[in-house]
């Protein structure tokens, strides 16, 4: 579904990817790696926010740069920082945004957003000002805004980061139930248990790629080794 062929990306003056190639077809894929490894950058290329300087990025064969104009509901991305995603002042308007992008009239989109919130027991959130929500609640709204639109490919960039434990459990269950292809970047490796595939990115390169448990164990072992080396360094 998502294909990167020899993609090269620099952000500002920082080189991030130098010829990255990946074919991502599995239903549940995890993306892990240190801060700055390139997880968010990969997602930004996949939804067309950042264009590779060379190489190609396609979703279902469509160049990522054309997704917004040609198939706005092909890819839904939940940003690492909710404030980068949220556009509108109220919850119902934010949820309606993606629905209007698929051609729904604004009034119908708002009605659908309200009905969706009601199915989640969140009727009271419909007219809430986003600015009145906590960080975790805003992150939850971002997830709902993706879910209500049902895009074919869902990219979740550290979606658990601000969620409380019930919120994490709910999102974990939502992910397990969703019919779509979902790619999740996270530092909470437990949430990737049972995934079809996990990719460990290390400074813009694929360090390991395979079964979820194997790749997470390799990453944990490497982190333990580096932490031990750091602790042994004289200061």
Binding residues for Mg ion (CB under 5 A): 39-40, 80
Radius of gyration for the alpha carbons in the chain, expressed in angstroms and rounded: 18
Q: Which residue has the tokens 């658990």?
A: 160
By CB under 6 A, the residues from 25 to 84 that bind ligand ATP are: 33, 35-41, 80
Contacts with ligand ATP by CB under 6 A: the residue count is 13
C-alpha distances (whole Å) from 117 to each of 100, 114, 121 are 17, 5, 6
Q: Which of 6, 11, 106, 132 binds ligand ATP (CB under 6 A)?
A: 11
In the complex, the smallest distance separating the C-beta of residue 125 from ligand ATP, rounded to whole angstroms, is 27
Helix (H, G, I), strand (E, B) or coil at 77: strand
Q: How far is the CB of 191 from ligand ATP (least distance, A)?
A: 15
Residue 39 or 191: the one with the smaller Cβ distance to Mg ion is 39
Locus of tokens 């009239």: 105
Determine contact, residues 107/147, Cβ cutoff 8 Å: no
Beta carbon of residue 50, minimum distance to ligand ATP (angstroms, whole number): 9
Question: Whose CA is closest to 84, among 145, 169, 167, 15?
Answer: 145
Cβ nearer to Mg ion, comparing 39 with 114? 39
**What span, in angstroms and rounded, lies between the C-alpha atoms of 207 and 152?**
28
* Residue closer to Mg ion (CB basis): 40 or 92: 40
Quick one: what does residue 52 bind among ligand ATP, Mg ion, none, with the CB cut-off 5 to 8 Å set by partner type? none
Question: Smallest gap, in angstroms, from Cβ of residue 85 to Mg ion?
Answer: 13
Q: Which is nearer to ligand ATP, 71 or 203 (CB)?
A: 203
- Residue 156 has, within 13 A of its CA and on its CB side, a CA count of 33
The residue at minimum Cβ distance from Mg ion is 40
The dihedral through the CA atoms of 167, 173, 179, 181 has a sign that is positive
Q: Which is nearer to Mg ion, 80 or 90 (CB)?
A: 80
How many other C-beta atoms are found inside a 10 Å radius of the C-beta of residue 160?
20
Task: Give the residue with the Cβ less far from Mg ion, 42 or 113.
Answer: 42
Interface residues toward ligand ATP, by CB under 6 A: 11-12, 14, 16, 33, 35-41, 80
């Amino acid at each position: 579904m998502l294909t990167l062929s020899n993609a090269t990306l620099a952000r500002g003056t920082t080189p991030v990817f130098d010829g990255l190639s990946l074919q991502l077809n599995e239903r549940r894929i995890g993306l892990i790696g240190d801060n700055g490894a390139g997880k968010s950058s990969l997602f930004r290329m996949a939804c067309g926010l950042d264009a590779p300087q060379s190489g190609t990025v396609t979703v279902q064969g469509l160049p990522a740069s054309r997704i917004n104009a040609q198939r706005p509901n092909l890819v839904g991305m939940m940003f690492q920082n909710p404030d980068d995603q949220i556009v509108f002042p109220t919850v119902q308007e934010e949820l309606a945004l993606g629905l209007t992008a698929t051609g729904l009239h604004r009034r119908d989109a708002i009605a659908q957003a309200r009905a969706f919130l009601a199915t989640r027991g969140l009727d009271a959130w419909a007219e809430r000002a986003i600015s009145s929500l906590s960080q975790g609640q805003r992150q939850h709204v971002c997830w709902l805004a993706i879910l209500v639109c049902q895009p074919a490919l869902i990219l979740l960039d550290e979606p658990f980061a601000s969620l409380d434990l019930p919120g994490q459990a709910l999102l974990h269950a939502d992910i397990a139930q969703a019919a779509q292809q979902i790619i999740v970047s996270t530092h909470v490796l437990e949430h990737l248990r049972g995934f079809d595939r996990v990719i460990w990115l290390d400074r813009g390169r694929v360090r390991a790629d395979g079964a979820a448990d194997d790749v997470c164990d390799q990453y944990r072992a490497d982190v333990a080794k580096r932490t031990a080396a750091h602790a042994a360094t004289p200061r």
